[in-house]
Structure 1
Amino acid sequence: MQKYLVEHCAPTLAGLKTASLFNLSFSTREELDQKVLMANQMLNDKGLYCEVLRLRQTSALIYVYRHQQLEMDLSRLETQQVLSEVGYASVAIKSCLELLKERLCYQETFPHEIGLFLGYPVEDVVGFIRHQGKNSKHTGYWKVYGDVVESIKLFTKFKKCKHIYKQRFGSGVSIQQLIVAD
């Protein structure tokens, strides 16, 4: 699990990004629960949390997030407006995540507002929804519909962070030492 966290969540662990998503394979539900528990034991003291957003037969969509940063992101007026337009009645983290989980499990299409839960710029999430994923100005960690220059700077930071975190973890630095606390 630690290797997955470093590989897929380095910018989140470093405090550069609100949250990250990745798929995790498992053999039994007990194994998955144990991995999520272990992740939370490493993360929670530093203000990060790990949750299963969607469960399949042998894989789970894992969401690792910075609680304080997500709270700030969801409290922004433009974020609240977008979430309200797509059916979110509350901006409380718990209720938002519950509705997101429901949508991931029961909708045929991926709920594109998920970008707001990952810290993507609102204009990029709105642009993606409006243009149905087409006609973006640039593609990196997400499709950019707004400020390309700023997004490329972020993508470069994320890539460098991932490289450094993988290198440091590979040389024996513990995940607890890599996590930047809130």
Structure 2
Amino acid sequence: MAPTVIHWKKSLDQKESVQVRFEKWLFVNLSKVIIGGKTGELIRFKAPFFRKSLLETLRDGEKLSHQWGLEVFVLRKCHNCAHVIFYDSQRLEDALDEARKTPLLERLQYDQQITGKEFLEQLRHKWQHKGTIPHEIGIAAGYPVKDILGFMGLAPLPLTTVCGWQIYGDANPSLIMKERFDQAQRWAMDYIDVDQSIFLRDELRH
């Protein structure tokens, strides 16, 4: 485990319980990226979030993600909610390299030499303009390019199975990836000693 994550875990002892719950929630929800090699994770925040305002949530989320080696990009924001992508910048560049080997970027009218940051900026613009989330966000969220192509009807691949996302064509590579992501999340939960209740934020507890 990275020294920064070890240091973060130790720092929890000095924090208030509600802050600890927020940080553990975020760590587990980002564990597929932090530990499992996933490119990114899209998270929707709605205030109040662990008793935080939206501004406080975004501020603390960005601070923590940088501590864990991730970047943050706000894709959509309203007065009390935000859709945020937490991502590994190099993995996003690698994912775009994979996409360039397919018709995906060209068919969707993206520049072939687009950078990761530019890609996210264009995703935000499309989302704001059309009012719906662009399906190609799957590139930044770490899903296999073949499954994105199949889902969007840009490749003649049959729907093989559904396991967290729709898998097209040869299922094995996607299922192996899914298991790696799930294992990372299980490991993260064990590391900070939490169970499934971690996924229930304070505002939804009774």
Q: Is the structural similarity TM-score above 0.5?
A: yes
The one of 10, 23, 27 equivalent to 1:2 is: 23
When Rg is computed on C-alpha atoms for both structures, the one with the higher figure is 2
The one of 179, 187, 191 equivalent to 1:168 is: 191
Q: Does 1:151 align with 2:174?
A: yes
* CA distance in structure 2 between the partners assigned to 1:57 and 1:43 by the alignment: 23
* CA distance in structure 1 between the partners assigned to 2:180 and 2:110 by the alignment: 32
Unaligned runs of 5+ in 1: 172-182
Counterpart of 2:149? Answer: 126
Measured after TM superposition, the shift of residue 21 of structure 1 is 0.9
* CA distance in structure 2 between the partners assigned to 1:140 and 1:91 by the alignment: 30
Greater displacement, 65-74 / 48-57: 48-57
The SS at the match of 1:70 is: helix
Unaligned runs of 5+ in 2: 1-21, 195-206
Q: Does 1:57 align with 2:79?
A: yes
Q: Deviations over 1:126-169 (max 9, x none)?
A: 100008xxx62111222100321222222222222212212322
Counterpart of 1:20? Answer: 41
Counterpart of 2:114? Answer: 91
* CA distance in structure 2 between the partners assigned to 1:13 and 1:38 by the alignment: 17
The one of 116, 120, 136 equivalent to 2:139 is: 116
- Preserved contact between residue 40 and residue 142 of structure 2 (Cα < 8 Å): yes
Counterpart of 2:9? Answer: none
Please, what is the CA RMSD of the aligned residues?
2.5
- Preserved contact between residue 20 and residue 65 of structure 1 (Cα < 8 Å): yes
The amino acid across from 1:71 in the alignment is: E
Greater displacement, 86-95 / 37-46: 37-46
TM-score normalized with structure 1 length: 0.79
Q: How does 1:94-105 map to 2 (within 5 A)?
A: 94-105=117-128
* CA distance in structure 2 between the partners assigned to 1:106 and 1:7 by the alignment: 32
Alpha carbons of 1:58 and 1:136: their partners in 2 closer, same or farther (altered >3 Å)?
farther
* CA distance in structure 2 between the partners assigned to 1:15 and 1:149 by the alignment: 17
Between the aligned residues of both structures, percent identity stands at 27
Q: Deviations over 1:78-98 (max 9, x none)?
A: 25x412211222511222111
Aligned length: 167
Counterpart of 2:160? Answer: 137
Alpha carbons of 1:87 and 1:140: their partners in 2 closer, same or farther (altered >3 Å)?
same
* CA distance in structure 2 between the partners assigned to 1:170 and 1:52 by the alignment: 30
- Preserved contact between residue 77 and residue 83 of structure 2 (Cα < 8 Å): yes
Measured after TM superposition, the shift of residue 15 of structure 1 is 4.2
- Preserved contact between residue 137 and residue 145 of structure 1 (Cα < 8 Å): yes
- Preserved contact between residue 36 and residue 50 of structure 1 (Cα < 8 Å): no
- Preserved contact between residue 34 and residue 68 of structure 2 (Cα < 8 Å): no
- Preserved contact between residue 74 and residue 83 of structure 2 (Cα < 8 Å): yes
TM-score normalized with structure 2 length: 0.70
